[in-house]
Chains A and B, each alone.
Chain A
Amino acid sequence: MTEKSKKRPKNLDLLHIHLPIGGFVSILHRVTGVLLVLALPLAFLLLQQSLQGPEDFAQVVALLSSLPARALLLFVTILLTHHFLAGVRHLLLDLDVGISRSGGQLGAWLVLGGVAGAALIAGGCLFL
């Protein structure tokens, strides 16, 4: 690689470009997606065990009621609602809904607001 090509700017260097709110919500959609895939085996395990018998069911309930599990459930709820709402936003963008500059920004803020609302509700249900 020559000196010149080394100095060539990277257009998508995420640490140096200013990411608009729509881009921020979009990249989070990817991050939450990857994390949710990683959570799948755990969800399968809990679903399977909960159906194996009354004692196994009680064990799953007890496990999910513990404080660390409730914190994890809150986190997963945030991941899920973000991925869900940002995904719906992308589907609407496919239909040209909210595709304008201001519409895109509004949609992104609505996604973040929805996530905050869901987090509050889930937090209330889990910890109060």
Chain B
Amino acid sequence: MKTMSPRGSGSAHRGLGEWLLQRLSALYLTGFAVWLVARLAIAAPADYVAWKAWMTAGGVRLAFALFFLSVLVHSWVGMRSVFLDYLKPLWVRFVTQLLLAFGLLALAFWAAQILLVEAHG
């Protein structure tokens, strides 16, 4: 019986890199989530001025920039592995991965815009 080869969808040899990326981004997201929840629980910015001042501070902006990067990488690897496990015909995989790639790319540009315009003091 001919089995579905992962080579067909271009994933050969990329397993270890994706495995590592998923864990590295997970580690950052874990730390970021704990920090964000703790910070907002202890002292949530009370109004727009405080919120804007907090978000435009250098360290917070950098933390959010790394968050955007991590969450998009994490989404790409995670969604792709779900697609590879449950979507069978090659063309369905191709179309969904293409849509995912464009969607995440759009979110990346959007995140850059938030960081460079709205979260810029």
Q: For the complex, is A47 an interface residue (Cβ under 8 Å from B)?
A: yes
Instruction: Tell me whether B78 and A33 are in contact (CB under 8 A).
Output: yes
Instruction: Tell me whether B118 and A51 are in contact (CB under 8 A).
Output: yes
Contact indicator per residue, chain B 78-112, by CB within 8 Å of chain A (1) or not (0): 11001000000000000000000000000100110
Complex alpha-carbon distance, A40 and B100, angstroms? 13
Q: For the complex, is A58 an interface residue (Cβ under 8 Å from B)?
A: yes
Q: For the complex, is A106 an interface residue (Cβ under 8 Å from B)?
A: no
Contact indicator per residue, chain A 44-67, by CB within 8 Å of chain B (1) or not (0): 100110111110011000000000
**B residues in contact with A48, CB < 8 Å:** 110, 113-114, 118
Complex alpha-carbon distance, A31 and B36, angstroms? 24
Q: Which 6 residue pairs are nearest across A and B when measured between Cβ atoms? A: A51-B118, A57-B48, A54-B48, A37-B75, A33-B78, A48-B114
Main secondary structure of the interface of A (DSSP, over half): helix
| Residue in A30, A51, A87 whose beta carbon sits within 8 Å of that of B119 in the complex | A51
New A-B contacts (15) at CB < 8 Å, excluding given A33-B75, A34-B82, A84-B33:
A34-B78, A37-B75, A37-B79, A41-B107, A44-B110, A44-B114, A48-B110, A51-B114, A52-B118, A54-B49, A57-B48, A57-B51, A58-B48, A80-B33, A91-B30
Instruction: Tell me whether A34 and B79 are in contact (CB under 8 A).
Output: yes
Which residue on B lies nearest to A52, using beta carbons? B118
Give me the interface of B with A, judged by CB distance under 8 Å: 1, 23, 26-27, 30, 33, 47-49, 51-52, 55, 71, 75, 78-79, 82, 107, 110-111, 113-114, 118-119
**B residues in contact with A13, CB < 8 Å:** none
14-56 of chain A: CB within 8 A of chain B: 30, 33-34, 37, 40-41, 44, 47-48, 50-54
Instruction: Tell me whether B107 and A44 are in contact (CB under 8 A).
Output: yes
Q: For the complex, is A96 an interface residue (Cβ under 8 Å from B)?
A: no
B77 → chain A, closest Cβ, in Å? 10
Complex alpha-carbon distance, A57 and B49, angstroms? 10
Instruction: Tell me whether B118 and A40 are in contact (CB under 8 A).
Output: no
| Residue in A40, A47, A88 whose beta carbon sits within 8 Å of that of B71 in the complex | A40
Instruction: Tell me whether A51 and B27 are in contact (CB under 8 A).
Output: no
**B residues in contact with A53, CB < 8 Å:** 48
Instruction: Tell me whether B114 and A47 are in contact (CB under 8 A).
Output: yes
